[in-house]
A = this chain, B = another copy of it.
Amino acid sequence: MSIVAHGGNGTPASPGGGLELAGRTFRSRLILGTGKYPSNQVMAEALEASGTEIVTVAVRRVDLSRSTEDALLNWIDPERYLLLPNTAGATTAAEAVRIARLGRAAGLSDFVKLEVIGDERTLYPDTAALVEATRELVRDGFHVLPYTNDDPVAARRLEDAGAVCVMPLGSPIGSGQGVLNPQNLLFILESVSVPVIVDAGVGTASDAAITMELGVDGILMNTAVAQARDPVRMARAMRLAVEAGRLAWEAGRIPRRPRAEPSSPREGVLV
């Protein structure tokens, strides 16, 4: 499949440039989740090693039956990382809006990762509910980053609703299958003008490189790092892979050919 750059042309708007969201620019194109690490200590080291500047967090009821455990916020410096509360757990637009508001109160920022799950087995989004919730949250002053499926039609509807970017999935959350349908991501890149961040599916470094080589603007991942045998080492791998994939896309890869092409000159061969 031909690599289509964002906006449809073969070269990036700004080689080496950063990720722009709601007027803010981030040098790193990697967004990390904070769930499922062996410990807060390991999580903190992984965030450090990854070079990320944005981290997602969830909003949950305090468990009043247990003595208060070590709060996540003791391990993440809000001066250094933008906290991005998600609406995980919501299955309707109304639930998502409510959770987003609680997250804003806790996270002290207008950015929200919007999730509305339409199916428990796949954790795929309900795109109609996403559009509805995006409209309401935008009216309420949020910067909405919606987790969506790889449908370019849904992506355009979300952009029209005011999302600051679209975050299509590569494969099911936590499945580690990488990008199952790269062509749909290319279609989304052609369909919207806001940044495209692939959220969910990346399993290892090469998946991150493949994804960036499609010309997307960034990647959001959690399980691939948190559940690796060595999360800190994998975080470093992901940092390098995202940069490598972006550089390769900017550098312009050679075409795929069915036949061989010699690397050494045909002339002057001794016979």
Contacts and interface: CB of A to CB of B under 8 A. Distances in A.
Contacts of A35: 263-265
A60 B127 contact: no
A184 B260 CA distance: 12
Interface string A217-244: 0000011101111110110111111011
Interface string A91-103: 0000100110010
A149 interface: yes
Nearest to A15: B233
Contact of A257 (B15, B176, B264): B176
B174 A153 contact: no
Contacts of A258: 1-2, 172, 175, 177, 183, 186
A244 B205 contact: yes
A168 B271 CA distance: 26
A102 B270 CA distance: 10
Contacts of A154: 127
Bin chain A's interface residue count. 35 or more
A257 to B, nearest CB: 5
B247 A244 contact: no
A40 interface: no
A221 to B, nearest CB: 9
Nearest to A131: B128
Interface stretch (A73-81, A104-112, A115-123, A133-141): A115-123
A60 B264 CA distance: 9
A128 to B, nearest CB: 5
Contacts of A243: 237, 240
A190 interface: yes
Interface string A185-223: 011001100000000000111101110010000000011
Contacts of A122: 152-153, 187, 259-260
A48 to B, nearest CB: 15
Interface in A51-106: 58-63, 86, 88-89, 95, 98-99, 102
Interface of A: 1-2, 15, 33, 35-36, 58-63, 86, 88-89, 95, 98-99, 102, 118-119, 121-128, 131, 149, 151-154, 156-157, 171-177, 180-181, 183-184, 186-187, 190-191, 203-206, 208-210, 213, 222-224, 226-231, 233-234, 236-241, 243-245, 247-248, 250-271
8 contacts: A121-B260, A125-B153, A149-B153, A175-B257, A203-B254, A204-B254, A205-B248, A208-B244
